[in-house]
Amino acid sequence: MDVFLWGVLPYLTAAIFFGGLWYRYRYDQFGWTTRSSQLYESKILRIASPMFHYALFVVLGGHLVGLFIPKNWTDAVGISQEMYHLTALSLGMVAGVATLLGIGMLIYRRRTTGPVFMATTKNDKAMYLVLVGALVLGMWATLTGDHTATGEHHNYRETVSVWFRSLFIFQPKIAAMAASTIQFKIHILVAFLLFASMPFTRLVHAFTVPLHFFFRPYMIYRSRPKSVESTHTHGRGWDKIGTPDRQKKGDDVYKP
């Protein structure tokens, strides 16, 4: 079981993640969008969306540091475990709470603003569930995951991080991960689900952060394509592009 969860699943997730992204980039350019709902509502969005996104960057940064920087490196430069843990915990909590608050406001907005709710697809709803799940479980793991069920001290930097880094050299240290606490295990499994589903949800907009904006000239001239067809992508296959039709429950669709 451990071999499957921590030795096979990570690579399966990565395969779906990268394969999905490639597929979508190749075949669904037209559907690749943030699908903003700012036109319908902007008061809450203006506060909640930047709060969520910026806090998420901090969370992401925290994960990178925690997972990629080995404990003996920070030990070597004289950062004690207590100091590291305190910083990570306080910063992580602030960012985590802000992320949750942000996404909470966004979901509240989505549910209570009529047009925004109507523009919410099933895909979106499932995505929110997994995303919020990953966030909440992550907080739970951070807060309660420092002791195993038997009461022993647990440091994720000696279990999860070691396993995570070993994935990249294709020699997964399954035992290291298996020694982690149940909180971390669940968090990571939900994270797998999040990453595996990401290419198929609206979250893909994160992978086209327009950083090239800094380098491109303001004016863009393009010649008319020699063949119109070549510029077209053919759409994804798993759901329709755009938001569903506006209809209340019980409305009969007119079918001639």
Partner 1 sequence: MRVMAQVAMVMNLDKCIGCHTCSVTCKQAWTNRAGTEYVWFNNVETRPGQGYPRRYEDQEKWKGGWVRTATGGLRLRSGGRFQKLLSIFASPVQPKLDDYYEPWTYDYENLVSAPLSDDFPVARPKSLITGEDTKIEWSANWDDSLGGTAETLANDPILQKLRKDSAEQIKLEYEKSFMFFLPRICEHCLNPSCMAACPSGAIYKRAEDGIVLVDQDKCRGWRQCITGCPYKKMYFNHRSGKAEKCHFCYPRIEVGLPTVCSETCVGRLRYIGIILYDADAVTKAAAVKDEQKLYEAQLDIMLDPHDPEVIAAAKLGDIPDEWIEAAQKSPVYALIKHFKVALPLHPEYRTMPMVWYIPPLSPVVDLLREQGHDAEAPGNLFGAIDALRIPVEYLAELFTAGDADIVTLVLQKLAAMRSYMRGVTLRNERDESLAEAVGMTGKAMEQMYRLLAIAKYDERYVIPPAHRDQAHNLEEMGCSLEEEGGPGMGGSGPFGEASGGPVPVAIESFNALRDRATADTAASSESLRDRTGDTNWDGN
**Residue with smaller CB distance to partner 1, 170 or 221:** 221
* Amino acid at the residue 124: D
The torsion angles phi and psi of 37, rounded to 5 degrees, stand at -115, 20
Tokens 């938001």 sit on residue: 243
Q: Which listed residue (9, 21, 29, 179) binds partner 1 by CB under 8 A?
A: 29
Nearest distance in Å: CB 63, partner 1: 20
Q: Which listed residue (8, 11, 46, 61) binds partner 1 by CB under 8 A?
A: 46
**Could you say whether residue 235 binds partner 1 (CB under 8 A)?**
yes
Does the annotation flag 187 for ligand binding?
A: yes
1, two tokens: 């079981």
Environment class of 153 (CB within 10 Å of its CB; exposed 0-12, middle 13-18, buried 19+): exposed
**Could you say whether residue 213 binds partner 1 (CB under 8 A)?**
yes
**Residue with smaller CB distance to partner 1, 104 or 114:** 114
**Residue with smaller CB distance to partner 1, 122 or 255:** 255
Q: Are 10 and 192 in contact (CB under 8 A)?
A: yes
* Contacts by 9-14, CB closer than 8 A, 24 or more apart: 9/189, 9/192, 10/167, 10/172, 10/192, 11/167, 12/196, 13/192, 13/195, 13/196, 14/195
**Could you say whether residue 122 binds partner 1 (CB under 8 A)?**
no
**Could you say whether residue 104 binds partner 1 (CB under 8 A)?**
no
**Residue with smaller CB distance to partner 1, 43 or 153:** 43
Which residues contact partner 1 by CB under 8 A? Answer: 29-30, 32-40, 42, 45-47, 49-50, 52-54, 114-115, 118-119, 205, 208, 210-214, 216, 218-229, 231-243, 245-248, 251-255
